[in-house]
Amino acid sequence: MSRNEALRAARLCGGWRTIEAAARALTEHGQRLLDDRQFTVSARTWRRWEGDRPGWPAEETAIVIHDALGRWPEDLGFTTPPGWIRPEHHEEEQVRRRFASVTAAALVAGPVAPQHVDPALIDYFQQQLEGHYRADMLLGPHDLIGTVSAQYQLIDKLVRSAQGETRRGLLRVGTAYAALVGWLYQDAGDMDGAAFWRGVTQEIAMRSRDPHLIGYSLVNQAQVRTDLGDGHAVVDLCEAVLEDADQLVPKVRIMAMQQQAHGASLTGERHMVDQLIDRADRLLPRVDDDLPWGNACRRTPGYLEVQRATCYGRLGLGTEAGALWSQVLAIVPETARRDRGVYMARQATAAAAAREPDQAVEIARTVATIAVETRSARMRGELVTLERAMRPWQNAPVGRNFAEILDLVTERE
């Protein structure tokens, strides 16, 4: 088959019986695909493509041809230029590089040169950990991922040389660092990276033989499943933690109960949400350990009511959720920018669910500013949820005001 016949056959298979119809259809397809009203393919250009010397289209045109006809230009008789690499191969390389960057700190090849490991390093890493938790509240994920990952990598290196209780102590603190890296990826909206690091957390917890950390790692896995909307998996993981509840410090039990409540909200069980959070609330005064990780229940004002309000919002209980968010936001400090932004976005969604769109838009103005500052994907995700809740008013003035607010966030991504 000659070169011009390959494209002609594809055109006819696509239902474009004339060159003019093909050029017009590809122009319309490209404008939609590229969101570019200036994209055009003329009948004269298409006629040249079906000639003996079709040349080679611009890269964006090649993408449009592939999207419209399901084949790349080199398969349609075009003359392939030197060095051409299909865009799909570029994407594969980007995925490979991204995977390498996500896993680099956790998959360092060994063995490493042996060295003396002073037990005092355990305290050093524990003290640094508390600072990272505070910085996360103030900065958001992107500025911390590299720092915390690098420290985990150092801990992993030291574990390979450490002995006895020093090694076990480093494994314990390494679990907390891996969990924080996983959280940072989750907050950045990278669920693949989050899932990978949650797996690392569980591995290191198991190696430490610490039952509290093993439970903590399972709760971390449940957090990812919550963000994926898999309520049954959340419940399964949390029930596995609570099977040996008597062996766990109250803090871990509280984390498992509140996360199970999220799972229950995903499966539509309000009574179970309240039951689990009430049980966790009764345990809260008993949290008295000095473990450096998992201290959100002590550090976060209104911790359990935050969980209850989130679950109520997920269940569509707008009025109840809105009342709880007002109580929570009254005690959350202004310095906790990222947390306040997430809570306010959920408060706005609750207002929309309660048929109060003007209040939702007013709250969303502040959220948009914080979302741009912190670059938190979780906050942008909450704004997407709010967008769905605001759809009944999308053609009204309040809906158009909300769309303008969203534009402020999306144009800065």
Half-sphere exposure of 398 (CA within 13 A, CB side): 17
b/e sequence 362-377, b meaning 16+ C-beta within 10 Å: ebbeebbebbbebbbb
Nearest to 167 by CA among 222, 122, 223, 234: 122
Please say whether the dihedral angle defined by the alpha carbons of residues 332, 338, 343 and 347, taken in this order, is positive or negative.
Answer: positive
Q: Which of 277, 128, 100, 274 is nearest to 193 (CA)?
A: 100
Summarize pLDDT for 333-391 with one digit per residue, the tens.
888 888 899 999 999 999 999 999 999 999 999 999 988 887 777 888 899 899 999 99
How many whole angstroms separate alpha carbon 86 and alpha carbon 262?
43
Residues 300 and 141: their CA atoms lie apart, in Å, by 17
- Percent of the chain at pLDDT > 90 equals 53
Buried b (16+ CB within 10 A) or exposed e, 113-143: eeeebeeebbeebbeebeebbeebbebbbee
Indicate the pLDDT class of residue 208, thresholds 50, 70 and 90: very high
Q: Which two tokens stand for residue 255?
A: 């984390």
186 contacts 220 by C-beta, under 8 angstroms: no
Closest CA to 190 of 367, 345, 380: 380
Q: What is the pLDDT of residue 402?
A: 92
> What's residue 92's pLDDT?
47
pLDDT of residue 1: 44
pLDDT tens readout for residues 118-169:
999 999 999 999 899 888 877 768 788 889 999 999 999 999 999 999 999 9
Check residue 95 and give its pLDDT.
Answer: 45
Q: What confidence score (pLDDT) does residue 47 get? A: 87
pLDDT for 108 equals 76
pLDDT of 97 over the 60 cut: no
The pLDDT, as a whole number, for residue 315 is 95
Return the minimum-mean-pLDDT range out of 54-58, 225-229, 230-234, 317-321.
54-58
Predicted pLDDT at 64 = 87
Q: Please tell me the predicted confidence (pLDDT) of residue 90.
A: 47
In the structure, what pLDDT confidence band is assigned to residue 86 with cuts at 50, 70 and 90?
low
C-alpha to C-alpha distances, 128 to 132, 176, 287, 412, nearest whole angstrom: 6, 11, 22, 32
At residue 96, does pLDDT exceed 80? no
Residue 215's nearest CA partner among 233, 242, 177 is: 242
When pLDDT is averaged across residues 318-334 and rounded to a whole number, the result is 94
Rounded-to-integer distance, Cα 342 and Cα 21, Å: 50
- Which amino acid type is present at position 246? D
